[in-house]
Amino acid sequence: MLWNSRLLVMLAVLPSLLGATVLFLIGTADMIQVAADAAVYYFGSGTEDIHDTVVPKIIIAVDIYLIAIVLLIFGSGVYRLFVSPIDQAEEKSPSHPFNVSSFDQLKDKIARVVILAVIIEFFRAVVDIRFQTPLDAIYLAVSVLALAGALYLMSHAHRKESH
């Protein structure tokens, strides 16, 4: 009975996979809407200027996709840790995102995708910035430099793990 209680994690796995599916569908619908708006603007009789809205809409869709990927990695990682390895992922490569061997490795993979989602959200906010003073531009430059440093450190740590 105790061994079979591990299957309780399916209460987390199945909703995670369902949530990922819903988010992938929402992100795809958003991207299709952006493409349709662009087609109407350039080839139809569209009068509404899309230049101010197209980039933020695409960034939001990418953010939605990244959150879906987090749910997918979480669901498959918990399944692999508690229920059973996923044979197809095992055959592909040991470094496949679904192949996790510990909670720390699962947290690390999820954290990397979450950091990317935060960076995408940062860029979405930056797109709407209107500089009032030169100091605003300096703050933006420092923020971008900090993000670049974080990405460098993240990739540096990843290289150490793979050796």
**The pTM is what?**
0.77
DSSP assignment of 25-82 equals HHHHHHHHHHHHHHHHHHHS---S--TTTHHHHHHHHHHHHHHHHHHHHHHHHHHHHH
d(CA 84, CA 77): 10
What pLDDT is stored for residue 56 in this prediction? 87
Please report which confidence band the pLDDT of residue 163 belongs to, taking 50, 70 and 90 as the band edges: low
% of the chain exceeding 70 in pLDDT: 91
Q: Which residue has the tokens 């508690």?
A: 82
Angle between helices 54-82 and 103-127 (to 10 degrees): 170
Tens digits of residue pLDDT in 31-43: 999 999 999 888 8
Quote the DSSP letter at residue 2: T
